[in-house]
Each structure stands twice: as structure tokens, then as C-alpha cells.
Structure 1
């Protein structure tokens, strides 16, 4: 694509989705089936309103069917499906219906809560609509087609995606609501994280462990021997994930995170990326002042390079009482965010010190949620 955006001072290229690839390949194959001639490029419209002119790869026409592929281009988005060939194979039907199926390398849905029904190919609703629209534009409404979308390397690549965890087996998903990949799209990332909550709720799970990243996940697995399936990574989107928890009726959440992240939550900051807000030292310093720390001690924390350094100094001046206070404040802020619809407890730690504090609600959850254990 020749479209770009500027993000954080960088020029980043847009890409197009697996759904756009499937629609383009299907339209091109339908064209070849009608004309009997191979095709070099095809143009489709996307829900975003942008037209895509894409190169047709590996065109084949053999008797009653035709097939070809489109190469997925994720632009500057870190997408493991970048470069995959998305194929479509089309064959005439005896009626005027469009029947779309997933073949090799397209995942099968095995759990409820996803846009596609259990047992169906993991082709989302918008790509299905795009495929039918583009094919109808080519063949009209008097004829019908059987369409098979397949991805030769899909099963291998799917292992690097969320699909195995979401209950999509055997391949990738055919995705995309706009047809266009926005480079490093935060919304797409959040949607994939939120989908995990929906999937677990469908399994009847309503007690979860939220961790911002891998350190928290490893800590709860190694310290408490909790099962992986209950542990949800929130990344920096703690507020968003709390909102999703309320939306899906989650009853209990244990929030476990590094003090450098969760100190921000104690200050009411629910998007914890440092580019959005970074008040870690200021929040630590404010609570130290409430505990009677001297101006020199407060300034030392304010000018510390890292949270780990600040924690080391807090221990040195024997103000460890701050840690349970912060853990309780994190719990209070998260309960406010969820309008007290979710029972929440907090655990804070650092890499050097390990667990610093567990709030009273956190201790109750740790004692009561036996199902989390292996």
C-alpha cells in the first residue's frame, strides 16, 4: 500500500487484513472462472472506504474450478501473518448461493464466545460479507459459487497467535473489520486481549487473575502454582480490561503487578504506558510524605531512576508501611472503576524484592480460589 500515517514522529505504512486478502483472492478466482483467463491484479473496496489494487499470485484454472492467492501485507504492524499467502478456490454451484468454507490452514472454532460458531471455520462476519460482496460484483446474482479459503502455512503460523488459547485449532483466523491494518493498532491489540475474557466466561469461569505482563504471570505461576488458563495479560490497558470484566460478568479479580505499573493505578491512572502517564515516583513520594518522610527523603524518591531504586531506598529509611497502603489504594481505585461490581484484590512486587504487599481482599482471594491451583 502507498498509504502512511505519522505516529510518534515515525512514518508508518498501512497494510491490509487477511479478510481483504480472502475477498480479493475470491473475486480474482471468480473472474478467472468466468473468463477462462488468468489474472495479474484485482481491485476490491474495503469497509474503510479505501480501494485496494492487489497482485494476484499463483493463478490456476482447471476444469470446473479456479484458484489464486493474495499475499498478506501488514504494513508496519508487527503481525505474524505478514507475508502469508491467502488462497481462494472457487467452483460453480447448481444454484445461485454463495457457500464459503475454510480449508487447510484456516482455524476451526472449538469454543463458544467467538464471532464464528463452534465447528465453523474461523472466518469473521465482516470478511464473509466482503467475500460475498466482491464475488457478487463479479458473477451477479443468477449464479452461485462454492468458495474455499485456505492458507498453506496457516497451521504453523497460528501457533504464534492467540488462536490456540482462544480455542481456534488448525490454523489462522480470517479477520478484519475495516479491511485495513493500522500500523501498531492499539485497538486491535485491546480487542484481542478482551476476547480472552469473553472466551473464559463462555467456559463458565468468572474468577480471573490479571497481570500486566510476563513478570506477573511468572510470579503467580511459580509462587502459587496457578493454572495458565485463569491468568489474563492486560498489558497497559488495565482500565479497559476491568471494563471488559464488568461487561462479561466476571465476579472476582486478583490483580498482580510490578509496583512500577500498579503505583500508577493507585493514582487513578488506568492506561499505564509511560507515554500516556508516568506518575510512579510522584505517587510514591506523595504517600511517603503522608507517612512523615522528610523533604530530603521525598526528594530522593522523586529523583530515583527506577522504581526498584526507589523501593530499595524506602526500605533503607524504614518506610515499608507504604507498600500495604499502596496495595489497598490500588484495590480501592479498581473497585471504583468497576463500580464495585467486581471483588478485586491486589498484589504488588518488584524484581529485586519479590512480593511487597497483598491487600486484605487479595489475601481472601488467594485463600478462597482453590480452582486456580494446578
Structure 2
């Protein structure tokens, strides 16, 4: 087995931002072979530009998506940005060919908006604004030729994103996802936490949960690590490293799977989110109409208003308690586990008593 590090790639969001910046440069008569864009975390990323040219009132450019060593369905696709210069300040982003439009609630962008997520939008806007003359704006149309066909091999049709792919990426960088290599790359985070003197650790399935835990609730960054989809794998290694307690901190869509005893949370491995929610709501006395609405939804974010409308929000605490119990059982009681469930915006939906104890000990600002 090779010890060669796996090569990182760039997200579709980075490609779109780079293409938009190159299109502005083409409009200005300064075509470029590569551009630098800034990630949502402030990291400078360089992307090669495959081509660009000026058009009447703007410019067009394209970047070829390089996913590195990640088996990404969008690897090698062309991400195109067409820029039309406007006399009105600000940047408007539109979906062109092969980029989807949101048609159902519960996603990062509202219904009717192009499926260009907040991180890429910020990158595109910043890249364009830094090149525009003062007082001017632009309309940016992002296209992915062939994207509509590719999207049929993603979850977009189920999520209600029609017409093409989503432009995504919270960090701008694609981390290689070879499963064993990626799982093994996550484990050293635990030893770092241990080396800093902690015997409690916070597991966040993704970067959004990690950021919420640290920036909104004041949990020490040194104690928070990402597990990606491999919650069971990381729980096992927390035991091996002598951790005493684990706080699971994440979005309802991931935590509800743990409540059902699912410890590899990738949707291709197991996706019983809505069924689990429906079962616990039914057990809590929800009417059949509520259960049917939940099962007809597409995302857990879309289920939240339904739960609120039927006054069933107590289910979140039950799910948190159940996730903790299933996690403790998974490691045969070698860890105490607490759970916090949050929304994409960082609002706490539910937590259990063990979570309060661990969080309090770590000095969070929840009372």
C-alpha cells in the first residue's frame, strides 16, 4: 500500500469563483492563465483557467474541476461563468445550463434560488467585487455543460433541486475521500486533543457543526474534531486513546441516524432519517397526519416546521438521549456520551443531561 499522500482538489464553488474572476479579467482585456480566490475561511486558493474571452458588456471564462484523488462525479467537468457588467453595485448570481434550481424548502438556499450554496456565493461575490471598478456591479451566470445529466446520479432530484448540479463547498477544497485513508486521517485528531490534556472530546460530523460548537457556543476549538460520516470509527478510537466522555454535536440530519443505531452516516450506506423521525414522533403521540407529512418530506430541515406546527418539539430531546444511548452501547459502555442536536443556523433543537454536563465542564456558554 502506497504511503503517498492523497492529492486534494478544488470544489465546484472554487471553480465558479475562479471562472467569474477570470471572466472579469477578460472583460478588462487582461486574460489570465490562473487566478487566486479566497475561501470562506480566508484561505487563498489558486485555480488554473482553461479559457476566457471578452463579450459585449462582460466576459466569459471556464475552469475544469479537479477533484484531486477524490472519486467525485464532477471531476473533469467544465464550470463556466458569464459576467455582464452592471451600473448597479452588487453581485447577482444566476443559474445557467446544468446548474440546478431549488424547488423545495429545507435546503441551504430558499425556493426559487439557484443551487449555489452560501460558501460559493461568498467566494464568487468577493472574487468579482475585488476586480470591478468602483460603483459597478455584475450579473454572474454559472453553467455546467452536461450538468443536468450528471445530476441524475446525485441526490439532487430527491432533494428537489431541478435542472442540474449544485455548486457547493464550505472550505473551497476537496479532501480525498478514499474511505480507509480518510478514516485513518481523522484519527490523529483524537491524539492531539489528548495531548492537550483533555479526557473529553467533542465529535462534530461536519465543518458546519464544528464551527457552531466553537464560534457560537464557545466550546474550546482544541477539543472539537470532525468525524465526517465515520462516527462509529471515531468512537472506537476515542476508547483506544483513553477518552472518558464524548459529546456528539451535529445537525439533526446526522444525529437522527445515530439515534437509529447507524454509525456510518453516508446516505449511500444508510438513510433512515425521515423514517426514524416519523417513528419517534408516532411513539410520542403525533397524529397520523404529522407522520405522513414527515415521510413525504425531503430533508430534516423541511421536517422542523412540521414538528413545530404539531407541537412535538419534545422529540428532539428524546432523539438526543437515544443517540447517546446507542453510542454508549456501540462501545460497550467504555465511554459516557452526550448529544446536542442543532439546525443549520446553529440553533439548539435538543440535548440531553450528559451533554449539559460535558459542555459545562468544557466551559460552553449554554445555560
TM-score by length of 1: 0.51
Question: Against the structure 1 CA distance between its residues 348 and 371, is the aligned structure 2 distance closer, same or farther, given a 3 Å change threshold?
Answer: closer
1:227 is displaced (CA, Å) by 2.4
Q: Larger Rg: 1 or 2?
A: 1
- The answer to whether 1:321 aligns with 2:307 is no
1:353 is displaced (CA, Å) by 7.1
Provide the secondary structure at the position in 2 that maps to 1:339: coil
Q: Which moved more, 1:351-360 or 1:309-318?
A: 351-360
Aligned counterparts, 1:184-199, within 5 A: 184-199=177-192
**8 Å CA contact 1:213, 1:233 repeated in 2:** yes
Q: Provide the rounded CA distance (Å) in 2 between the counterparts of 1:324 and 1:195.
A: 31
Q: Would you say how many aligned residue pairs link Structure 1 and Structure 2?
A: 206
Q: Provide the rounded CA distance (Å) in 2 between the counterparts of 1:369 and 1:198.
A: 18
**Which of 299, 305, 311 lines up with 2:298 in the alignment?**
305
Gap regions ≥5 residues in structure 1: 1-14, 21-73, 80-159, 163-182
Q: Provide the rounded CA distance (Å) in 1 between the counterparts of 2:353 and 2:197.
A: 26
Aligned counterparts, 1:240-279, within 5 A: 240-279=233-272
CA-atom RMSD in angstroms: 2.9
Q: Deviations over 1:33-84 (max 9, x none)?
A: xxxxxxxxxxxxxxxxxxxxxxxxxxxxxxxxxxxxxxxxx996149xxxxx
1:292 is displaced (CA, Å) by 1.5
Question: Against the structure 1 CA distance between its residues 222 and 75, is the aligned structure 2 distance closer, same or farther, given a 3 Å change threshold?
Answer: closer
**Which of 344, 349, 353 lines up with 1:360 in the alignment?**
353
1:205 is displaced (CA, Å) by 2.5
**8 Å CA contact 1:212, 1:233 repeated in 2:** yes
- The answer to whether 1:209 aligns with 2:202 is yes
Gap regions ≥5 residues in structure 2: 7-65, 72-172
1:194 is displaced (CA, Å) by 0.8
**Residue 18 (structure 1) aligns with:** 4
Question: Against the structure 1 CA distance between its residues 207 and 353, is the aligned structure 2 distance closer, same or farther, given a 3 Å change threshold?
Answer: closer
**Residue 25 (structure 1) aligns with:** none
Q: Provide the rounded CA distance (Å) in 2 between the counterparts of 1:336 and 1:77.
A: 35
1:299 is displaced (CA, Å) by 1.0
**8 Å CA contact 1:288, 1:319 repeated in 2:** yes
Q: Provide the rounded CA distance (Å) in 2 between the counterparts of 1:371 and 1:315.
A: 26
**Residue 346 (structure 1) aligns with:** 339
Provide the secondary structure at the position in 1 that maps to 2:187: helix
**8 Å CA contact 2:219, 2:363 repeated in 1:** no
TM-score by length of 2: 0.52
